[in-house]
Amino acid sequence: MKKPQILTAEKINGRYYTPLVIVESMLDLAGYTGVSITKKHIMENSCGDGAFLAEIVRRYCAVSLGLGENRDTIRDELGRFVHGLEIDCDEWQKCIYNVSAVAAEYGVFDVDWDIKCANTLTVTEYSGKMDYVVGNPPYVRVHNLADYSNVKKYSFAQNGMTDLYIVFYEIGLSMLNQNGVLCYINPSSIFNSLAGEFARRHFLTEHLLTKVVDLKHYQPFEATTYTAIVVLSKENRKDMVEYHEYDAKKGKIVFVDNVGYGDVYIDGSYYFADNRSFLAVSGIIRRNPSHGIFEVKNGFATLFDDFFIGELDFSDYTIPVVKASTGRMSTCFFPYDKKGELVPYEVLAQIPQIRQRYGQHSEKLKSRSLENADAWHGFGRSQGIQDVPKRKYAINTLIRDTSDIKLTVCEPGTGVYSGLYILTELEYGELKEILFADDFVTYVKMLGKYKSGGYYTYSSKDLLKYLDYKYAERNGWDNEQLSIFGHT
């Protein structure tokens, strides 16, 4: 039977509508398929216009008719076993229309739907009753809510500036019966954000985590958020998590590997990959750098690059500067002395071209978010300034593979911006061998910090861990520690 056209609307206030292909995949992952779904309670607790509920009704009707149930019985069971909550009454009305339209396609009419216009944060009548809880909970920073009082009572919100979808995990779990299954799609930041730390620990200590789908660079919503699907089960008995990814070439979700609970959780965050990749790089993630062979820092943060960097009509107080993201060299107005101290404006203004340049841009310079308001004529942040006299290596932070890595030698007196730089006594050739390696790309991808265009990013801390670990490995240091972490 042809699937009915479902009404949609642009999702606002943290609400993003879920494409049908994702809805179908999530219901399959949750096990809401086949004849087992009849007479099972299922809840979508942030149902919007009914993307999940419409497909749930379609499945329930199709299965029940296939089992020979009459339509009056199906009507009664839809009203008894299919549940929904939506705070926006306009969306709730669309949902009622949509699920009724689907039921009508199967000849089922006049369903007394248990779909309420209500605030899920305050509803308790479904506690312990659901066989399934599914959906796409709202992505809203709780400090943006008009009323924060209903959030404070939830333990998953104890880390302060949490996202509302994390609280919905606690609500969803409370709705499940002792054998219930929960399946949500939400930002993949749940794997590593501070806000999600308590929830992550709870999922593992209570043995709930069963399946994860990292959608990676595929963005199913009209938003910049990168997402993942998480399946929790109250009756889980396995010590393994089924890990799936979205395969862009195949255009579908594919199974990758079963990952042990002990591998998934590292330093409070979740990491997912095939077991071969875990073997290669999990020791790096666990690394606590200790040798002091490397320092990795952020380049200049002028907060007004167009003023400080580019074509200049003066040479006083200038230095060469490398844009780490591209490896290109240009000129930087550097209003600092040899000790890295900001030169007083009155001294700089003695040079007519510099005085004129400041005069043209003083208002914007003063409007920046400055570390020190009195230092309006300097960079917005002090990072990178003290290391100008040192030899270093600039490196970009957006990569897809080794061909994207840009490692640039910066001689003493050269600045770095738009990326990171490495301080080390190693020569260029040895450093390049360490960085231009498949292990580095595998490690960066495993961090799961996605950027548009298929790129991945990493922080100064991430890079320092990798460099310290790989240098120790190459030089035979810490053999005992390396073997403990499963990398020989």
| pLDDT digits 0-9 by tens, 166-203 | 999 999 999 999 999 999 999 999 999 988 999 999 99
Could you report the per-residue pLDDT of 139-154, keeping only the tens digit for each? Answer: 876 555 555 667 778 8
Q: Give the model's pLDDT for residue 388.
A: 98
Q: Which two tokens stand for residue 340?
A: 């890295």
Give residues with Cβ within 8 angstroms of 373, minimum separation 6: none
Query: In this model, does residue 16 exceed pLDDT 90?
Result: no
CB-CB contact of 134 with 175 (8 Å): no
Among 154-168, 305-319, 334-348, 380-394, the minimum mean pLDDT is found in 154-168
Q: Give the model's pLDDT for residue 378.
A: 97
Share of the chain above pLDDT 70, in %: 91
C-alpha 309 chain-centroid distance: 32
Closest CA to 134 of 87, 88, 185, 72: 185
Query: Euclidean distance between the first and final Cα of the chain, in Å?
Result: 57
Query: In this model, does residue 23 exceed pLDDT 90?
Result: yes
- For the CA atoms of 99, 100, 104, 108, the dihedral, rounded to the nearest 10 degrees, stands at 100
Does the pTM of the predicted model rise above 0.85? Answer: yes
Predicted confidence band of residue 279 (pLDDT cuts 50, 70, 90): confident
Query: In this model, does residue 14 exceed pLDDT 60?
Result: no
Q: Give the model's pLDDT for residue 157.
A: 78
Q: Give the model's pLDDT for residue 335.
A: 98
Which CATH class, in words, describes the domain spanning 20-272? Answer: alpha beta
C-alpha 46 chain-centroid distance: 21
Query: In this model, does residue 5 exceed pLDDT 70?
Result: no
* Number of neighbouring beta carbons within 10 Å of residue 13: 11
Tell me the β-bridge partners of 245: 214, 254
CA distance 166 to 187: 10
Q: Give the model's pLDDT for residue 140.
A: 74
C-alpha 214 chain-centroid distance: 10
The full set of domain ranges for the chain reads 20-272, 295-341+379-484
Query: In this model, does residue 56 exceed pLDDT 80?
Result: yes
The mean pLDDT of 383-402, rounded to a whole number, is 98
Q: Give the model's pLDDT for residue 127.
A: 97
Closest CA to 435 of 483, 393, 388, 482: 393
Query: In this model, does residue 394 exceed pLDDT 70?
Result: yes
Could you report the per-residue pLDDT of 195-236, keeping only the tens digit for each? Answer: 899 999 999 999 999 999 999 999 988 767 899 999 999 998
CA distance 40 to 442: 42
Q: Give the model's pLDDT for residue 480.
A: 44
Q: Give the model's pLDDT for residue 4.
A: 43
Q: Give the model's pLDDT for residue 191.
A: 95
The mean pLDDT of 238-256, rounded to a whole number, is 93
More confident residue, 153 or 352: 352
Closest CA to 272 of 220, 221, 200, 223: 200
Give residues with Cβ within 8 angstroms of 412, minimum separation 6: 388, 389, 390, 391
Query: In this model, does residue 12 exceed pLDDT 60?
Result: no
CA distance 298 to 460: 7
Q: Residue 472 carries which side chain, given as an amino acid letter?
A: A
Q: How far is CA 151 from CA 120, 140, 146, 159, 427, in A?
A: 11, 12, 11, 12, 54
Query: In this model, does residue 428 exceed pLDDT 50?
Result: yes
DSSP 8-state class, residue 484: H
* CATH assignment, 295-341+379-484: 3.90.220
Q: Give the model's pLDDT for residue 221.
A: 82
413 φ/ψ sector (left φ>0, alpha ψ -120 to 50, else beta) = left
Tell me the average pLDDT of the chain.
91
DSSP 8-state class, residue 424: -
Secondary structure of residue 439 in the 3-state scheme: helix
Query: In this model, does residue 418 exceed pLDDT 70?
Result: yes
CB-CB contact of 67 with 152 (8 Å): no
More confident residue, 295 or 13: 295
Q: Give the model's pLDDT for residue 484.
A: 43
Give residues with Cβ within 8 angstroms of 306, minimum separation 6: none
Predicted confidence band of residue 478 (pLDDT cuts 50, 70, 90): low
The mean pLDDT of 54-81, rounded to a whole number, is 98
CA angle 480, 292, 262 (to 5 degrees): 40
Q: How far is CA 12 from CA 29, 97, 409, 481, in A?
A: 27, 20, 47, 50
